[in-house]
Structure 1
Amino acid sequence: MPVDRLLPGREYEDLLALATELARDELKPLAAEYEEAERFPREQFRLLGKSGLLGLPYSERWGGGEVPYEVYLQVLEEIAAAWMSVGVGLSVHTMSCYALAHHGTDEQRDRWLPDMLEGQLLGAYALSESHAGSDAAALSTRARLDGDQYVVNGTKAWITHGGEADFYTTMVRTGESEISCLLVDGHTPGLSAAPPERKMGLTGSTTAQMIFADARVDADRLIGPAGAGMRIALSSLDSGRLGIAACAVGLAQAALDEAVAYAKGRTQFGKPIIDFQGLEFLLADMAAAVDSARATYLDAARRRDRGMPFGRQASVAKLIATDAAMKVTTDAVQVLGGAGYTRDFPVERYMREAKVPQIFEGTNQIQRMVIARHLKRT
């Protein structure tokens, strides 16, 4: 992609080059086929693991790359530009590892984290429920302690990798006013997946309800102290929102690249359509939106890397980047005209894929509420 990358050190250039090569050669050629067939790209996630890209922001002690979040997000953008379902899946997996990596004990991390970061175990994040989406604190999935196990009952909704994941970072109610975090094995008896949701985009990424029916989870899978679940969840979401912002920028960049290439090659009235001012200005606005959105996630990531508060900036990045992706992909279809409305070109798929990032990891209306709350506290 014709983008000048902003890396904090030359030592990360080889990493980004690896991601670019893998995205170009191994992911992009398969994307349309897998999305058309609604086929889950499990082998591609294994490839990311073998390439060292599944645990980039986590400690080398447990198999991670220990790279700055700023670098991880630029790698994620590159992956998403080639194949949005894989980019989103990588972001979700990274967020699913967050609770264990940051709130687990060393014993828990030694036991599970290496396989997560090296691609042996693929993760899912189970917070939302059908009646507890934006209002996550209203969740009703319950876990009752019975000896050395929790007995879990309830249904989680809109779970990316639902039915495909090997572990589910799951928020459950362990008391009337107590929410806790459990690391649930995907093969736990009593845990099952409902039929996948039928979606307009990201069809290669399985999304399903996860049903807990007297599912028994060992008590040593409690991450953090009992009652810390909501704090862990909200902290995870701050970082996860940056992942979605980076994915959205990658998708928008892919749409812009496709639109520019088409406009250069398409001739009308004896000259390429990119030479017409109407198209020039439209493409310029698309490029400005992509560059501006990228700047927001990089700013938030740099604050995170320095240990500074970044929650407001994460919400700004998620809001700006996903709205930009929706606008840029829509405009890309317009640039291609009738061709853009066909499946002969990828921009119609990009447009369909751009909608859901405005919804998950907190709708963009919720992001505005989060930003406003931060402003009220200043």
Structure 2
Amino acid sequence: MSAPSIYTRLGVRPFINARGTITTLGGSIMPAPVVAAMVEASQHFVALNQLQEKAGEYIASLTGAEAAFICAGAASGMMLAGAACLTGEDRTAVENLPDIGGRPNEFIISLVDSHTYIHQGFKVCGGSLAKAGTHSQVSADDYAKSIAKNTAALVFFLGSQPKDQLPEIIALAHRHELPVIVDAAAQLPPRSNLTDLTAMGADLVVFSGGKGLFGPQSSGLILGRRDLIRACALNSNPHSAIGRGMKVGKEEIAGLVKAVELFMEQDEEALIQEWEKRCQLIATAVQNVAGIQPMYQPPYTSQFPPASPMLTIHFDASAPLEATAVARALEEGEPAILVSASTDALTIGPQTLQEGEERIIARRLGEILAPP
């Protein structure tokens, strides 16, 4: 008889995640080769600065970026990117943060993204914010009107802002000799985002390591200009700097290196087709239930992540149960299943489903919605 899992021993109930790579739900499941790389790294001592440098050089070679740095998650990466734009490679400036010593420290940041911890990160490292646009949209003109003598960088939220707007923002910033920081945390796949954004001229691009890359959840990746990446490193662990607490261990570094390798090698088209099949199988389980209409959303029509299809199951007044009741039954059943729910719809994302879990969801939906 096998020993109980760590979660069982702690009294924590695992679940099937049909919502997506959400931080509070554990991010993603690492493939076995990523876990193996972390275990291998855990068996030896290495100089952390050297490991970071070599890992960054290798990832840069895979992605075509000038340079790369592994950080402790995307939020960490955004704060380090901000700090890098405030200090450059000036070690005295690095040591003095959050005191910026009269240097430009204002980040032009659009209001379309609601993650206020990103705003807080810029403030923690000594920045101030010039907020542009509205909660629904922001234009290049909105950015342009906010540029001033005290501007340190422009911030772009890929996903909340369209990719085709980015070249215009980059051109605007570079005319004023200002860098652009791109938050692309949940924008993988497609793989092209890992190569195209820096090629467009974005100065620093930040990705989560534990979402679409399927690496360690407490890891992230910054790609960009060599001088600014060096500044990110100086502001981060293991240096005595404002990012010292954002520690990335040797295990996470090794795990993310392997995750990037796998991501660059994978058959992306086949992966997306598999996600589509999962959605279609679940849709088939409910398509003949009165009052319920499954609606398939193809790849590249959503924001987070852009390449993933989605399935939305709509409930009208004649449905046997309300959507929230079905979501509750899924979560309370065995195994527990988490979906996104509103008063009249369930939304299922296939990206975080493990092999065969789509069949479990289809079966459970059939049982819950079966006539009494």
Higher relative contact order structure (alpha carbons within 8 Å, sequence separation ≥ 6): 2
Instruction: Answer yes or no: same fold by TM over 0.5.
Output: no
Bigger proportion of residues as helix = 1
The alignment's TM-score, normalised by the length of structure 2, stands at 0.29
The alignment's TM-score, normalised by the length of structure 1, stands at 0.29
